[in-house]
Amino acid sequence: MNQFLDMVLIGISAASIYSLMAISMVLVWRSTRVVNFAQAGMALLSAYIGYELVARVGNFWIALPLAMILGAAFSAFIEFVLMRTLQKHSSQGAIAAIAPIIATLGLLGLIRATIGFIWGHADVLLEPPLSKVGFTFGETTIVMSPMSLFVLLFVITLMIIVSIIFQKTNIGLALRASAYAPEIAQLAGIRVSGIRTLGWAIAGAAGAAAGILQTVNGTGALSPESLEFSLLLVFGFIAAVIGGLESLPGAVLGALILGLVLAAVQIYISGALVFIVAFLLLLLVLIVRPQGFLGSKAGRRA
Partner 1 sequence: MLRINNLTVDHGAIRAIHGISFSVEKGQLAAVIGSNGAGKTTLMRTLSGLKGAENGTATWLDHNLLHGKPEHHVRQGVSHVSEGKSVIAQLTVEENLDLGALWRRNRVEAKATKEEVFTLFPRLGERRKQLADTLSGGERQMLAIGRAYMSRPALLLLDEPSLGLAPLVVEQIFQSIRQIVDSMGVTVVLVEQNAMGALKIADYGVVLNLGTIAASGKASDLIADPAVRTAYLGF
**By the criterion CB under 8 A, which residues form the site for partner 1?**
170, 173-174, 176-177, 180-181, 183-192, 296, 298-299
As beta bridge partners, residue 137 has 140
Q: Which is nearer to partner 1, 164 or 184 (CB)?
A: 184
Q: Which is nearer to partner 1, 245 or 282 (CB)?
A: 245
Distances (CA, A) of 22 to 13, 37, 65, 280: 15, 12, 19, 18
Going by C-beta distance under 8 Å and a sequence separation of 6 or more, which residues neighbour residue 179? 30, 31, 199, 246
Quote the least distance from Cβ 177 to partner 1, whole Å.
5
Quote the least distance from Cβ 195 to partner 1, whole Å.
10
Nearest to 249 by CA among 159, 169, 176: 159
Q: Which is nearer to partner 1, 230 or 296 (CB)?
A: 296
Quote the least distance from Cβ 181 to partner 1, whole Å.
5
Quote the least distance from Cβ 188 to partner 1, whole Å.
5
Going by C-beta distance under 8 Å and a sequence separation of 6 or more, which residues neighbour residue 272? none
Quote the least distance from Cβ 295 to partner 1, whole Å.
11
Quote the least distance from Cβ 27 to partner 1, whole Å.
16
Q: Computed over its alpha carbons, how large is the radius of gyration of the chain?
A: 19
Q: Which is nearer to partner 1, 178 or 226 (CB)?
A: 178
Nearest to 20 by CA among 55, 47, 51, 59: 47
Cα-flanking dihedrals φ and ψ of residue 59, to 5°?
-140, 115
Q: Which is nearer to partner 1, 143 or 190 (CB)?
A: 190
Does residue 49 sit in helix, strand or coil? helix
Q: Which is nearer to partner 1, 138 or 189 (CB)?
A: 189
CB distance 44 to 111 below 8 Å? yes
As separate numbers, helices (DSSP H) first and strands (DSSP E) second, the chain gives 13, 4
Quote the least distance from Cβ 298 to partner 1, whole Å.
7
Q: Which is nearer to partner 1, 153 or 184 (CB)?
A: 184
Rounded Cα distance, 208 and 188, in Å: 33
